[in-house]
Structures are given as structure tokens and as C-alpha cells.
A = this chain, B = another copy of it.
């Protein structure tokens, strides 16, 4: 149900420009296709995380950040590095602590700074998820040849750089 819904909604966005002549509105078509492709993959990743690991994308994202930081991260920093808001990060950390995947600890010798760290089990669980996640992406993109994927990576990099150059200054516009 969700899957069909996503496909429909995603497909539908592109109808907006269907009346456009070829070559016209190229940037709009590109943006809508970026958006619909991202949504399609994201929804499938969420579905598989739920089905195979009984977890969510924000939890996966949070564990991924901690996996890279054996010393642990402060909650504010965790929020900044993920798409989890400051308001939600505490609850998410609490649930992951209850699951035995992370602990709260101190940073280095400094007892004043509280951080979240992966437990040994959390680290093993995340490694499993990350491997599966990589496999899903390989499978999902499996019909596209390697040369195309490489070219795409480069071209997306060019768009990302261009967009970065044209993003409004913070607080201005």
C-alpha cells in the first residue's frame, strides 16, 4: 500500500511538467526526478529497516554517526549530524539505551561532558544493518550499469556544488 502510494505520488510530481516541450523546464524536471527517486529509495529503505531489523531510519542514522565516533558524541552534536531535531534526540537515545545498543558516558577524562556511545552489542548490530543496507542499495540500483552509476555520482557532485554556491546566506535572502 505504502509502496504503491509512494510510486504514485512520486510519479505524479513529474506530471506537472509533462506539458513542457523537450528541453524546456529542464531544471524543474531534474529537480522533480531527484525528489521522486530519493523518495522511492528512502521509503524502501524505511520499509526494509522496519521489516528486517524492526528499526527506523532516524535510529539507523543515529547509530551510523556513533559508529564513526568511538569516543561518543554529545546529544547536541548528534542532532546536528543527523536529521533528528534536538527535541527528539533525547527520546531516541533513551530508547536505544533501553535496547542495550548505546550507553551514556563521559568524554575522555572530562566528567562534565556527557556523551552517547555505542555498546559492543550496538556496534555489532549496526554493522549487520549497515551491511544489509548496502546490499539493498546494490540490489535496487542493480539494473544500472557501473559506468552509468559512476557518471551519475560525478554529475550529482557537480549539481551539489552548484547548489551550494547559490544557497542563500544564513539569515539573509
Residues of chain A whose beta carbon lies under 8 Å from any beta carbon of chain B: 1-5, 7-9, 12, 15-16, 25-31, 33-42, 44, 47-48, 51-52, 64-65, 68, 80-83, 133-134, 137-144, 146, 148-153, 155-171, 173
Instruction: Give every chain B residue within 8 A of A42 (Cβ-Cβ).
Output: 35
Instruction: Give every chain B residue within 8 A of A170 (Cβ-Cβ).
Output: 1-4
Q: Interface residues of A: mostly helix, strand, loop or mixed?
A: helix
Knowing A141-B162, A156-B30, say if A167 contacts B40 (CB, 8 Å). Answer: yes
Asked if B162 and A143 make an inter-chain contact with CB atoms under 8 angstroms apart, the answer reads yes
Knowing A140-B166, A158-B144, A170-B1, say if A30 contacts B149 (CB, 8 Å). Answer: yes
Knowing A7-B164, A28-B137, say if A148 contacts B152 (CB, 8 Å). Answer: no
Instruction: Give every chain B residue within 8 A of A16 (Cβ-Cβ).
Output: 64, 68
Chain B nearest Cβ from A129, distance in angstroms: 12
Instruction: Give every chain B residue within 8 A of A25 (Cβ-Cβ).
Output: 134
